[in-house]
Each structure stands twice: as C-alpha cells, then as structure tokens.
Structure 1
Amino acid sequence: MQTEDDAPRHLRLAGIIRLGLGGGRGPSDAYVFDPHRLALPSWACALGESGSPALLVTLDRHLDVVVPREPGKVPDRSAGLRALDEHARWSLDVRNYDHILAAMEAGLVGDALLVARTRPRGSFAGETYVDTKGRSHRLVVVPTVDRASEAWNHPAPGDAVRDVLERADQVLLDIDLDCFTSLSDADPTTVIPWPRAIIREFLLPEGSEDFWDAVLKRTVAMTLAREPHHCGGLLASGELFRDAAEVLFRELLRVEPP
C-alpha cells in the first residue's frame, strides 16, 4: 500500500501538471503550470539532485534574465526538491523573470539559448552570467526560431547556437505561452494572441527541422508556462493554449495534445 511519503515527487508540486509524452520524439515528460517561476521546481524534479547542469532552450516573449534579489540564497539542487519549490513560490519575483538565473545559481542550468524578443527592465545584459559560486553561464539570445535554425545550419562569425547545443549532454526545453502573443500597436496594454497558422510559422519555419532534431534528441523534459495574465486573460489564454498545443505537441513533438 502506497503511503503519502511514497507518492511520486511531482505529486507534491502544487499547481504543476506532469504529462507523459511517450511515443513521440524528444522528451518523455512535460510539466505544465501557470506562473513561470514554477519552472524552477519542475526542472529540479526532471533532473534530480545530481548530475551535470542542463542547457536551457527557452521560447518566450520576454528575456527572463533578471538577477534574483538575493542570488546567494537560492538553494543548491542538492538541497532537494522541497527547498527549491518553496524558494520559487516565496522568494522569486512574482513578475516571473528571475527563475532562469536562479536555476543557474541552483546548479540546474548551465548555459541558456534564449529565443525571446523583449528585454524587461533590469534584465542582465551581458553574454556571460557568473553566479555567486563563480561558475560562468553563456546566454545566447536570438529573436526567433528561424534565426536560431539559421545559426544552427549556417553559423556566421559570432553565432553560438551550434556551439552551445553541441556541448550539451541534456536539454531542458521551456516554452512560455506568451511567446505566441504580441502587444497591440494601438494599445500597448492589450495582448493579441496569435492564430494557429502564425504559431506554426514561428515554431516550425522552413529549414528548422535540423535545428529541432538537435534540440529534441537531447531534451530530457519540457516545461510549459501558461501565464494567463500575459496572454489576454483566462479565456484567451485557454484558447491560445489549445492552438499552441496542436502545433507544439502534435507537429513538433509528434504526440497527442493533452
């Protein structure tokens, strides 16, 4: 008989849904949640408490690379899942933009390939982040999947996409649903969700197959943040999730959508 203490680790992560993705290509597990800072315990759950840090490949509207308020107080991954989960919920910023550098401080993430278009105020601007333990982390930023795949297929001087991917033993693939939105030109406070055709064009541009093969064959888990307040609200974000899931799961990962 299974007791509460014997329950799988992910069942203790409130607000995080774990999905099995067997039978497709890429990761066997996905973690779905709303606030993006819950990626921190999800990555900890996926990677465990030992082993080398993973390369983070993240697709987002924003560059979530603001330095945590107290980076030296981020628990190390060896502190365990509970410590990292508690830190994400109570110590990381509720604006959800410091979890990536927190994951580097925790020893979960090594380098990061960031596909993002806007930079929040106060975000780290350098190409290398040195954490409080003295470890260096490369931050490779490209605005679109099309640009990332171009840098993989035909690297120009200074392109680092191929370099960080080829060096990675394992990858965490991270998607923020607001990646598939834009701000209205008429009213910058209004979020416009993309239709499915535009999501497909962004996520699977012509010539991106080799890039995605390189990412997915190394990916151990995927995280997906729904961030409804950045996607037009609960109803709009629900419709956006449905459209994005069709492309992301069925066409990219080749599994049935959740």
Structure 2
Amino acid sequence: MKTDDDAPLHLRLAGIIRLGLGGGRGPTDAYVFDPHRLALPSWAMALGDSGPAALLVTLDRHLDVVVPRRPEAVPDRSAGLRALDEHARWELDVRNYDHILAAMEAGLVGDALFIARTRPRGAFAGDTYVDTKGRSHRLVVVPTVDRASEAWSHPAPGDAVRDVLEDAERVLLDVDLDCFTSLSDADPTTVLPWPRAIIREFLLPEGCEPFWDAVLQRAVALTLAREPHHCGGLLASGELFRDAADVLFRELLRVEPP
C-alpha cells in the first residue's frame, strides 16, 4: 500500500482502530470504526494491492447495496490506501449504504453474502452486480445466520451460500453493530438494542458451526462498524458494543474482547 512515509498504515487512518486477534480462530486482524463507509480503506489495508478479490460476508440490519453516485470514479485498489480512504470519506454517501458496491468497483470485493433483514430505498435489487469494468459480482442475501447455516449444510434449489463460500480464497467478515437492534413497533424512530442472550441466539444458532467454520477458515480480517446513530446513541451503542463484542469475540472467534 502506498503511503507518504514509513508510519504504520493503521496510524494514518483517522477514526479506524486496528486490533490484533492472535490466538483464536479465524482472522488475526480486526478494524473498528463508526461510519460504515470506512470499511473501504480497512478492507484495502487488510487485502493489500494484489491477490484475488475477497468474498464479503456481512451482517447488518440494512442491505447496503445502493450504487455509488459515481461508480466509475471509485479508485482501483492499485491506487493505494490514501486514495481509497479519501474517496470513502469525501465521495461515498454519508448514509453509509454504498461502500460495498464501491469496494466491488475498486476490485477489493468479488462476491458478497449478506445477512441482512431490511432493504433501504434505492438499494440495488438484482442478484448480480456488474461493475463499470464489466466484472460480475454475485449478491447472495439471507435474513439470519440460521438461514445461512441451513443453506450451507442443506442447500435447497437456488441457494448459493455454499457456492460463493466454496469459490472464495479469502473472506472479509464484516459486522454492523446495528445488526443487533430492532425498531420499536410503538415508535419506528426508536431503536431497541438487543440483550446479550438474543445476540448470542442470532449469531450462534443451533447447528451453525459448519457454516462458521467455512467462513472463519478463509477470513483474513474482521471489520466492525459501531454506527452509534443507528444504535440508539453513544451511550446505548457503547453498551450494545460491549454485549455484542462479548459474543462475537469470546464465543465466535474465541479471543478476549477488545
């Protein structure tokens, strides 16, 4: 990756915290940030300038597949970390829903497996995205880890979870903290963070180990977006991060939480 000096790359990325995850299973690095669009430079740092594009496995409340305003303007990964970081901060939408297709345009992400429950207005509706360079990217969508696990272990006609995982050399595991929230039925503007037991039930349903083994043995990095404005505010999101990190790190990745 190109930088202006010899400082460690993660120290050049304001607002992105890099964590070492040695000793567990799965990725050895994690990147934590608030706005989800900062996943773009984090993925660039995790993957480097070369090698095959990665399969993205992302867990989110929203399906972040809105096409960037100017997809042809997304820098290629060969342009370097600074170009991708600046593009994420200044060109991608502040609503944080176009970074995944931007990563496909950049050549960082190939196919994507989405574990997401809602589709924002304007989201790309197809199951294949063809980028401006003519490359095709499969978009596989399931609503829960339980459904992804079932599609891995016992695929039904039309299920593609096993196909994209088996074709992947590298995986980027991505989590938006608002995956573990719901909107209040009484007041749709109120966000309800899930308790730890519900997070555990969602992330680690019965029979999920074969699916998670397939993901984690290929995973090169975890990215975690805190998105406090989608998680009930700073204090509520801090408590949710603590509970989610306990399940995600200690129980899924088998490392101590950050």
In structure 1, list runs of 5 or more residues that go unmatched: none
* Structure 2 residue aligned with 1:126: 126
Per-residue CA deviation, residues 143-186 of structure 1 (Å, 9 max, x unaligned), is 00000000000000000000000000000000000000000000
1:64 match: secondary structure? coil
CA distance in 1, matches of 2:8, 2:156: 45
Once the two structures are aligned, what percentage of the paired residues are identical? Answer: 89
Q: Deviations over 1:179-215 (max 9, x none)?
A: 0000000000000000000000000000000000000
**Partner residue in 2 for 1:234:** 234
- Aligned partner of 1:14 in structure 2 is 14
Instruction: Say which SS state the counterpart of residue 84 (structure 1) adopts.
Output: helix
Mapping 1:14-33, distance limit 5 Å:
14-33=14-33
TM-score normalised by the chain length of structure 2: 0.98
Q: Secondary structure at the match of 1:141?
A: strand
CA offset digits 1:5-56 (Å, max 9, x no partner): 2111111000000000000000000000000000000000000011110000
Q: For residues 139 and 133 of structure 2, what CA distance do their matches in structure 1 show? A: 17
- Structure 1 segments of 4+ aligned residues over 2 angstroms from their partners: none
Give the gaps of 5 or more residues in structure 2.
none
SS for the counterpart of 2:175 is strand
- Normalising by structure 1, we get a TM-score of 0.98
**Residues 60-79 of structure 1 mapped to structure 2, 5 A cutoff:** 60-79=60-79
- Aligned ranges 1:82-231 → 2 under 5 Å: 82-231=82-231
RMSD of the TM alignment (CA)? 0.6
Give the letter for the 1:59 counterpart.
Answer: L
Aligned to 1:56: 56
What is the match of residue 252 of structure 1? 252
Letter in structure 1 aligned against 2:238:
G
CA distance in 1 between partners of 2:38 and 2:195 (Å):
27
Superposed displacement of residue 250, structure 1: 0.1
